[in-house]
Chain A
Amino acid sequence: MIDFEFEFQYSEESTPTLRKVSGNIPAGRCVVLCGGSGCGKSTLLRCINGLIPQFYEGELTGFCRLDGQDTAGMSIGEIGELAASVFQDPRSQFFTVNSSNEVAFGLENHGLPQEKIRDRVDEAFRTFHLEHLKNRNVYELSSGERQLISILSAWAMDTDIFLLDEPTANLDFAATQQLKNILLELKKQGKTLLLSEHRLYYLADIADEYWIMANGEIKHKYTAEEAKALLPLQLHTLCLRTLDLEQITVSERPPQTENMPQALSVSNLRYEYGRKNRAILSDVNFSVCEHEIVGLVGANGCGKTTLGKLIAGLYRSKGGEISLFGKAQKPKQLQKQVLFIMQEAEFQFFTNSALHELQYGHKITAEFEKKTETLLKSMDMWECRDRHPFSLSGGQMQRLTLMMAYLSDKPIVILDEPTAGQDAESLKRCAKLIREMGKEKTVLIITHDLELIADACDRCIGLSGGHADTEFFIRAQQDLQAVRRYMECFHPTTASPPRQYNERFHPATKLLCWLVLTIVISTSNNHLVYAAYAALMLLTAADGRLITALIGSASFGLLWTANALLPDTLFSFMLVLFPRIIAVGISMMTLIGRNEASRTLTALRNMHLPERFIMIVAVIFRFFPVLSGDMKLLRQSIRTRGAFVTLWQKFRTLPSYIEILTVPMALRVIRIAETLSASAETRGIDLKRRKSNFLSLRFSAWDVLFIIMLTASVVVGLIL
């Protein structure tokens, strides 16, 4: 049961975000908080889970009782033992790199015995029929799958109350359906659910009440029956999205564009991922007419974003052709004519205000200023024109990127999920702007949002099995329902079970190897370095990384040979320096790669190192690959916006280039840090208890053998 009454004002705000909100949710009931962006939904959830005022500072008055216990004076972690929280961005709320470890994370923080943690983790995957997600690398999971893992992590905490903040904001149609099934299961188990949501259709069979918030107050409380009876106009007035997808109607649109010339044509396009040559797009063919607005639909991971980036010239295809206005184009030419608006809005902001962002790269004339003013007003963003783009809400950021696309000089625009997490009012505004955009440009929208398709698209192309296999013209209600049926057929990809690695070495052995190498490479004794290098290659090979060991050995062999053939040249220098650099890289890989990060952290905890230190190492392990990927996205964003095209331009405006390369990343990680630490704190990371381990580690004969060999190598190196 949840019983509360709050008033709250954030430290940095001049007006209260919550004005006397109170409510009572009996055990086993599900209440949905809805209303426009910024109405106070998330703030209310933060007051209940204790993040306010301990994490987000401000002036809070009132009380909160969870299952009859007053939460005043409790830490966030202690409140987390009564109410589990799920956040909206599954990309940044994970603390570990392995799905099972993530589910176990809160239980480790609570110091539960290892056997109990294991049973609970197994039970979580079994109860929700998600065994295929067990022991998976989180980077291999889709957004939907990650959100399911975050719900399992919450469930594992064994609380009776669940607080979910826009859990479908980043999910596709199929993943939303899966989430619905899980919520139904939770309700069956008698859990009390409090959700904040914009997307409401999936909650029809789950919600008992809908509480409508506006201006920091709960304005209306509707039972499920009362909410279902609301007319479309009433829903619109209350800023609510549809409760029933059957009710969506196709908006009126201008005459069809069948006789228009072709703007974009894709023929026999092919693309493969990675070293294993996994074909993501095998033979894609379709065309789009000038001024047409086309929706691209398909299951998560079917290659929609990849296709968009190929058309925008951000990826290089492995075959086939992309033509614009009847002429085949190369990637560089595509970049000049196609703008790709990413789902990750933060990567696309280079300046320090919303207005400057719209002006970036444009000649500022009186006419342009007038145009931007009208645009900002029409998108309800005029009041925040001077705000830093990173201080805007997620929905406002997306609207800003949409306005940037509208003002762009490029004739073709690709929008990737432009309306994820938008409320009803904003969705209408976005759809209207896209239709306006269609008068001057050709628009391709990657989307799962049926309401957006209804309001904006002329046609939809379905992508499945690497092909563009279906086409829907959106003219009437039945066309929309056909798209809906097509989307309902998507099944979350059940990837093949992950390869199980036989871990031969204890992580402590690898840590010892890393430590020895770190010391050895700092000496000038070449023989010692080479001996330690050889030991590392043997460890790497014995650990199952045969290719890495072969590459490492071959690199050394080549340098040795080159130096022997051409002494006193650059190769002499490279022979001394390169093995040292390669050794550091490979030894780090043995500590972090595959599932080793979790095992290494367990080893560090077994060594009784301070928890703060282990937390720092955990964040490094989890986010180093993420930030490397983010850097790629940032470079793509710079390319698609047409900034710093040549090397000379980069050099000539070096400070600006450095700024754009660093600042969006820095501001993004500040946001990630907020979500990650909030998620970790609700799962007890800061509890002053002795933490336990989910994994158990044992030394084997391999460890003994390697330590003997490493010692022998060092001795031989010293003697030589």
Chain B
Amino acid sequence: METVNRNKLKIKDIITVVLLALINVVLFFASSLLYATPITIILMPVFFALLEGIVYFIIGTKVKKLGAILIYSIVRAILGGYLPYIILFILSGAITELLLWKIGYGSAKALTIGYIINQVLAAFGSTIIPYAIAASAMADQAVTDGRQDTILDASKLLQSWVSVALAIGVIVAALIGALIGKRIVKKHLTV
């Protein structure tokens, strides 16, 4: 009998990644009250960018294997239940996998860049696109009802500088989230 050591994703790795991803899903659902108002919806991506880095970094450090971040992204995306969000989240996972393959599995640099891309794309999928759709749907309704000015203004506003400001806010928050994630991994997984 001998020592067994494989670098392929094992059943244990897959289950670990899925369960860790579920923590971020649970946090997402627990914070769904933020969907209650138009203002808090805009703040959601910033809030999640701060929060989700811990689990992301734990996965990237604990399961240093091809496919771990992609599985995380698929689980996290599908439970979001919204098509643009699902597509963009999975896309971000694929990009991070490429980065990790190129730079090295477990690399903090690759995970930080991947996490920022992940959060920016998620912000588009979860907030900017649905907000734009909502605004457009409201505008359609308003046109039917013969009133349109205020809503169309709001829609234009979001599609212009607010989106840019939100994207910058998410990048900053994701960077802080990644730093928190990195610190936590160092503190709890490398002692």
A residues sitting closer than 8 Å to B (CB atoms) are: 11, 53-55, 57-63, 72, 352-353, 386-388, 390, 518-519, 521-526, 567-568, 570, 572-573, 576-577, 580-581, 584-585, 587-588, 612, 615-616, 619-620, 623-624, 627-628, 631, 654-655, 658-659, 661-663, 665-667, 669-670, 672-674, 676-678, 680-681, 685-686
Contacts and interface: CB of A to CB of B under 8 A. Distances in A.
B1 A628 contact: no
Interface stretch (B47-55, B93-101, B102-110, B161-169): B47-55
A57 B137 CA distance: 57
Given A577-B130, A677-B11, 17 more contacts: A53-B3, A54-B4, A390-B188, A518-B82, A519-B83, A524-B136, A526-B137, A568-B142, A581-B35, A616-B18, A620-B18, A620-B79, A624-B22, A624-B79, A667-B188, A669-B23, A670-B16
Interface string B35-58: 101100100000000110011001
A584 B133 contact: no
Nearest to A583: B81
Contact of A627 (B22, B75, B130): B22
A576 B188 contact: no
A681 B11 contact: yes
A627 B187 contact: no
B30 A631 contact: yes
Contact of A623 (B11, B22, B62): B22
B172 interface: no
Nearest to B9: A612
A57 B37 CA distance: 51
A169 B19 CA distance: 24
B5 A658 contact: no
Contacts of A670: 16, 19-20, 62
Contact of A658 (B82, B134, B180): B180
B191 A669 contact: no
A570 B151 CA distance: 11
B71 interface: yes
A673 B18 CA distance: 9
Nearest to B179: A655
Contacts of A624: 22, 25-26, 79
Contact of B14 (A577, A584, A615, A674): A615
B11 to A, nearest CB: 5
A662 B20 CA distance: 10
B90 to A, nearest CB: 13
24 contacts: A11-B5, A53-B3, A53-B4, A57-B4, A57-B5, A60-B2, A387-B191, A388-B191, A521-B82, A522-B82, A524-B140, A525-B137, A567-B145, A570-B37, A570-B38, A615-B15, A619-B18, A619-B19, A624-B26, A631-B27, A662-B55, A662-B184, A670-B20, A678-B12
B147 interface: yes
Interface residues of B, number: 60
A672 B19 contact: yes
A666 B23 contact: yes
Most chain A CB neighbours (cut-off 10 Å) among B20, B81, B191: B81
Interface string B137-171: 11011100101001100000000000000000000
Given A624-B25, A673-B12, A686-B11, A658 B86 contact: no
Contacts of A72: 1
Contacts of A570: 37-38
Given A568-B151, A619-B18, A658-B180, A61 B84 contact: no
Contacts of B20: 666, 669-670
A524 B54 contact: no
A525 to B, nearest CB: 8
Given A61-B1, A352-B188, A669-B19, A677 B12 contact: yes
A567 B138 CA distance: 11
